A and B are shown apart, each in its own frame.
Chain A
């Protein structure tokens, strides 16, 4: 007796096979025998299911339960639990990347749900090695229909009307190509399938050949009938042995059933197919080169016309299409042109398969309707960017394509829209890149590819791409000049115009598109020798230092802490940043995003070591870099936040007399008045400011520049340069009903009033609006003031929150809730003195310029809630109207700040410089410190031109702590963050403790010393 009740489909696509499909199959078979289920359960290996990232994949039917990352050892559990007892094995379920929700059925996974499969219709559904399964899915019906019910002209018309265009790159209309070949009079014609899929990152053709080879054979036969050819060739890469093996089997089976050979379906039509293996030349993907290769020649292109349809393979009329194009044909013939043409856009019909790869949660093959937005592919089908990284660009179209950055995520993907952005559809490689990708290095990669793959026939391509490669390599290694950018553009033009084939004509695209959208990265490499992504190693001291806005020499102070040389460690830190105590508590740690130890047990806990180091001394003003003798010049700094104080610190070190003015009663700016004391107790702010005063920085509080004095007065008082760093502390107040009701606070003023010791009352139920640091801080303060039910309403989702994820987590640990996709609609007073608020539900719509989705309201589902207090913390801006009123000619920017060069702080007025939040908008402490460095340098260059070449924070050097490069790296668990429990936190002020000396030494010892260059 053998009645199959369960089918287990195992993905045998290339990726899954490499991850062990075969051993999984064997383990399943053994388990089935052991449980006496072999007759009831059938194991079927299929072609690629598309979700290569989570392979090997097993799907159990009839339920359709989807198991991911199945190992041989898991087979027994699936068999004994699920197949025998009907209990699904949850631990092997797929998790939705955005919510971590477990998903059981394949039909519930967004990745599959949002796709529309035509070319991939059978991939992952059938056993590609059994023609019967293909036939069960209506295979060869289209061929039968064409041969017995349609004329060749009828087939041509159908293909034309469908609007199908070549899926290999250029998008030429398939129907026109076929008709041209059909119109030629010749006793011999050919059909050629281009399976020389060479674009790096594109593997849809391989997948179709491996997963559904018959669809290509059937389509080629249909084409042969339509144009009058009797012979077909499939030119397939030698690198695809499995595809070749399955094609060979398919051809044998098709011949046995009479689907290939003579007199097919009794129609008198003969057709057969031969496989030709490529020999490793990228240019053979170009049609004329490919035909030369089949003819046994060097695969070099030739000019067109004559087009292959007139004079192709062996000089006979030839239709040449790629695998994916052919795979669409049977469906068009069977279901009609109209059904196909109903999908997609006016000029781009049907679907397109993309090989989704790179920094995206769901990598693999996806087939989506033409016209879908790029953002929908990346975020909906692809599941977004993993590891809390930022989306940077998609590279689409391979070496002939281009990079499209975040502001264009709404672009519909069509043959027309992509070239407008400097990319092409190409064969459908779509590589998602995050902030860790250097666009100059990427351009270099593609140039290297093209230069190596140029067949050499056309000089502009052969020589031109080599020169471009040299230029871009120079830029990557810090030897580039601004003239090189012009030369790159000139050469691009030259190569485009002077090359015969598509390879050469599109070769400059990767450079041109990165120059178009990421020119600032090229300029940063050339002028600042800085690679923001931390990829170009030769211009980088260490990845952490490179990532730190203030360029703090992280490896050096870590190494000294490891040796208990705390003074040396502090001395190193103070060269670039006079606030180790503050930053040791609040720095969001740009450094660890690039920490190489992250690949092992996790990144270094740099901030914790920094905090430990800073706590070793009560006063470290004696460890500052040496102070130069006074030079008699006076500089006024307006604003005593980290930017202003840093500028004053360096100016004082350089011999200037720096005076800092601030309108508040005490110095520190946001450090004192915005960051809550449970994160940063005031004594540490005092400690570092006192150090600066000891150095000689003069601080005058309660002076409001713009009111108590003016810029002109300061100038008249002998200040030869002014540095404006008065921040962005002005609250943005939304236009909202009830915003001025009692019990409604705004975030910054709430934080400031609390910081100044005001006894603000909050009731038990508090709602905070916003998603930034001040919203989170306000929510946590509310709890410390006695609120019990605290809800943060944020209009987007967790992954869009601008605040540090750790802060959100800590707020949640303390009991605060975050409700995503909600916003406030209005606040209304109640008779009992409480407040009623309208809470609106939002959803994410189109993408904005920053690549985030814009929230839009879902109408008609708003609800009312009763609360005691509302804290609105939706952002802040600058307000320097009174300073500008001075008439010095300064320009305001659109955020209420001062228009200034972000890099140097130079303003429209030569002796006035500006920096910090005032110029950048609200940012982190370490960014403000970096701005202070830049301001000090610019002022020094202005007041003492040419005197100094180097500044203390520049040119970090390795510490005198030896490195043994041959030492084996042991696994050492990272130190855990010594956070207090939520209960303790309400008693003790600071939520975090300082790590212990041995922990600090151990943690410092994990540093891989990337500064060491051997």
Chain B
């Protein structure tokens, strides 16, 4: 299958081979679809149509079903993401303790809207519902790092930790 996506060479055949290996480990069947897509997104960073077609073929599912699943779940994205994903928790507790102000400060600082990615692909900005770290509200998660008791003033310092 031709590599036609625009990820600047990162989705080479090596990546496909890794995905093949993951799929070879498990029996075919619809119930593998979500784990395979999760793996694919981990490898490619996002799920362009080409990858969805590839997975559909490998699992012997209609492309439309794969597309239906990808678009249903928040976890999957069809757009390339930044190197670091910033998730702002919008759980009740974070909301009550000022998550809105954090979102504003982040968008202003990065000059992107919620859901967007910076031009240099350094950061993507998204929200999530409750990480369960309510004692630390308001909370943001950058990749797998949780930052608690965030204030607009602290934002620049936190972002500087991520290149």
* Chain A contacts to B: CB under 8 angstroms: 14-15, 17-19, 51-53, 55, 197-203, 206-207, 238-241, 276-282, 293-300, 314, 355, 357-359, 363-364, 395, 398, 429, 431, 433, 437, 442, 445-446, 449, 453, 455, 599
Contacts and interface: CB of A to CB of B under 8 A. Distances in A.
Contacts, number: 129
B136 A357 contact: no
B131 interface: yes
A273 to B, nearest CB: 15
A281 B135 contact: no
A297 B69 contact: yes
Interface string B34-58: 1101100000000000000000000
A55 B146 contact: no
A601 to B, nearest CB: 13
A385 B92 CA distance: 17
A52 B136 contact: yes
B129 A198 contact: yes
Contacts of B76: 279
A279 B135 contact: no
Interface string B60-82: 00000100110011111000000
A203 B132 CA distance: 5
Given A279-B76, A395-B92, A296 B148 contact: no
A239 B128 contact: yes
Given A18-B146, A294-B31, A299-B73, A201 B93 contact: yes
Contact of B93 (A207, A238, A314, A431): A431
19 contacts: A14-B132, A14-B133, A14-B146, A18-B147, A197-B132, A199-B130, A201-B134, A277-B35, A296-B31, A296-B33, A296-B34, A298-B68, A299-B73, A357-B93, A358-B92, A358-B93, A358-B96, A363-B135, A445-B95
Given A238-B75, A241-B144, A52 B130 contact: no
Contact of B69 (A55, A296, A429): A296
Among B34, B96, B144, B145, which residue has the most Cβ atoms of chain A within 10 A?
A: B96
A27 B132 CA distance: 27
A298 B69 contact: yes
Interface string B116-150: 00000000000011111111110100001111100
B111 to A, nearest CB: 15
Interface in B6-48: 29-35, 37-38
A570 B65 CA distance: 70
A446 B96 CA distance: 12
A610 B58 CA distance: 75
A280 B74 CA distance: 5
Contacts of A359: 96
Contacts of B147: 18
Given A200-B90, A276-B35, A398-B92, A357 B134 contact: yes
A437 B148 contact: no
B6 to A, nearest CB: 24
Given A201-B91, A238-B75, A281-B74, A19 B136 contact: yes
A345 to B, nearest CB: 27
A200 B69 contact: no
Among B132, B147, B148, which residue has the most Cβ atoms of chain A within 10 A?
A: B132
Contacts of A449: 90, 129
A295 B72 contact: no
Contacts of A293: 34
A918 to B, nearest CB: 37
B24 to A, nearest CB: 18
Contacts of B33: 296
A836 to B, nearest CB: 51
Contacts of B34: 276-277, 279, 293, 296
Contacts of A355: 132, 134
The 9 A-B residue pairs whose C-beta atoms are closest, nearest first, are A52-B135, A203-B132, A280-B74, A200-B91, A279-B73, A296-B33, A18-B146, A280-B75, A200-B130
A577 to B, nearest CB: 31
B133 A279 contact: no
A18 B96 CA distance: 20
A299 B95 CA distance: 26
Contact of A17 (B74, B128, B146): B146
Contacts of B65: 297
A296 B92 contact: no
B103 to A, nearest CB: 13
Given A279-B34, A282-B129, A18 B148 contact: yes
B74 A14 contact: no
Interface in B83-108: 90-93, 95-96
A295 B30 contact: yes
A472 to B, nearest CB: 15
Nearest to B94: A200
Contact of A599 (B74, B90, B129, B151): B151
A19 B65 CA distance: 42
B31 A200 contact: no
Contacts of A197: 132
Contact of A200 (B68, B129, B146): B129
B130 A201 contact: yes
A280 B133 contact: no
Given A19-B148, A277-B38, A437-B96, A202 B30 contact: no
Nearest to B36: A296
A300 B68 CA distance: 11
A430 to B, nearest CB: 10
Nearest to A207: B132
Nearest to B68: A298
A207 B38 CA distance: 24
